């Protein structure tokens, strides 16, 4: 767990093969959501990433921030949707899915500990439930986030990484674009992921909401 970080021991990056397993299966953070009448907000089409800007590197203001060294994540703040939640380490379950934190605590996020640390060069991944058997959970309003909004991730080394959202999309679990979501862009980036799309009691949520964000500051 993150509390065992001592600061002097660098963390080896996860082999690509482990992430490839997740890419092939997509994510299933919540297989049985609560029966919320209106459902969680879903991303607007205008919130989708500008793929041309990504390909040409025109988001230049993100290139000048120095990446941070490895340190486990401790808390995530998304002020525009009123989220401030502790983070626990999560790995992969027996079926190859990224594990979700316990659904019993609705205000809890999970950091994929075998991947990139928030603020490191590469793409770090934080997940959380959209709801549980009682009602909305930590990332219920994730689909309402907009470009330009900020996400702060605090770390156990006392530092914090601040990311700016540049896209929000919902993807079908059957066609989850793992390489696009998890791939290394050459910059410090963050993906925040929860369930989304249509919901049925038999199969749960049909997709995943993914927030794309890049590092813009550290402190």
pLDDT by residue (tens digit) across 64-105? 899 999 999 999 999 999 999 999 999 887 777 788 899 999
What domains appear along the chain, each with residue ranges and CATH number? 12-218 (2.40.260.10)
109: pLDDT strictly greater than 50:
yes
Give the rounded percent of residues in the chain with a pLDDT score beyond 90.
Answer: 55
Mean pLDDT value across residues 148-155: 98
Q: What is the pLDDT of residue 201?
A: 82
pTM check: above 0.85? no
CB atoms within 10 A of CB 156: 19
CB atoms within 10 A of CB 56: 9
pLDDT by residue (tens digit) across 168-198? 999 998 888 988 999 999 999 999 999 998 8
Q: What angle do CA 94, 30, 101 make, to 5 degrees?
A: 70
Strands 160-172 and 204-218, bridge-based pairing: antiparallel
Instruction: Find where tokens 């989708």 sit.
Output: 48
57: pLDDT strictly greater than 60:
no
Q: What is the pLDDT of residue 44?
A: 86
Query: Computed over its alpha carbons, how large is the radius of gyration of the chain?
Result: 16
User: 3-class SS at 176?
Assistant: coil
pLDDT by residue (tens digit) across 37-47? 568 999 988 78
Distance CA 49, CA 169 (A): 8
Instruction: Find where tokens 């640390």 sit.
Output: 117
5: pLDDT strictly greater than 90:
no
């Amino acid at each position: 767990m993150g509390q065992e970080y001592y600061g002097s021991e660098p963390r080896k990056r996860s082999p690509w093969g482990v992430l490839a397993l997740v890419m092939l299966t997509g994510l299933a953070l919540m297989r049985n959501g609560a029966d919320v009448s209106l459902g969680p907000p879903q991303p607007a089409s205008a919130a989708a990433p500008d793929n041309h800007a990504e390909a040409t590197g025109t988001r230049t203001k993100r290139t000048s921030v120095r990446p941070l060294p490895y340190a486990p994540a401790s808390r995530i703040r998304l002020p525009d949707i009123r989220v401030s939640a502790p983070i626990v380490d999560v790995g992969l379950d027996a079926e190859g899915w990224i594990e979700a934190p316990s659904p019993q605590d609705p205000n809890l996020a999970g950091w994929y500990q075998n991947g990139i640390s928030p603020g490191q060069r590469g793409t770090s991944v934080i997940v959380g439930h959209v709801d549980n058997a009682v009602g909305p959970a930590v990332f219920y309003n994730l689909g309402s986030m907009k470009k330009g909004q900020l996400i702060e991730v605090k770390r156990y080394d006392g530092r914090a990484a601040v990311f700016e959202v540049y896209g929000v999309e919902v993807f079908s679990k059957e066609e989850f674009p793992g390489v696009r979501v998890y791939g290394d862009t050459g910059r410090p980036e963050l993906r925040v992921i929860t369930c989304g799309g249509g919901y049925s009691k038999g199969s749960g949520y049909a997709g995943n909401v993914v927030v794309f964000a890049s590092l813009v500051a550290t402190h």
